[in-house]
Amino acid sequence: MKGKELLRVSVLGNLAVSRHGMRMQLPPSKKTRALLAYLAVTDRPHSRDRLCSMFWPVPDDPRAALRWSLTRLRPLIDEPDCRRIVADRESAGSILIVTPWISCRCAIWSETAPMQS
């Protein structure tokens, strides 16, 4: 983990993101926050179409809304030498938060239990 900051995404209660215990400011958009939580908790690739239908089921331009949300999440989640949000347009159009550097606090973990990565 040398050169990489431990990232913690807490999804119980209020959504929170922290690096080395320092709380990061979340984007103001509720849908962008929901997207972050969903990607972190599900821990698998999702198609752009599926994410668009889940979070932006309006006829406007859901793909543009998804791109906008991802641009707001990348500075929060990614580091210059470590891309945690991987979006692939060419093949399946999948989006994934890469988990080796992310810990999600879930209901089965105690507040005092050490996080495992």
Q: Is 103 helix (H, G, I), strand (E, B) or coil?
A: strand
The pLDDT, as a whole number, for residue 117 is 40
The pLDDT, as a whole number, for residue 116 is 44
The pLDDT, as a whole number, for residue 96 is 60
The pLDDT, as a whole number, for residue 29 is 94
Per-block mean pLDDT, blocks of 10 residues, the chain (117 long): 64 84 92 91 84 88 91 86 74 52 39 41
| Angle in degrees, CA 74, 88, 4, rounded to 5 | 40
The pLDDT, as a whole number, for residue 85 is 82
The pLDDT, as a whole number, for residue 110 is 30
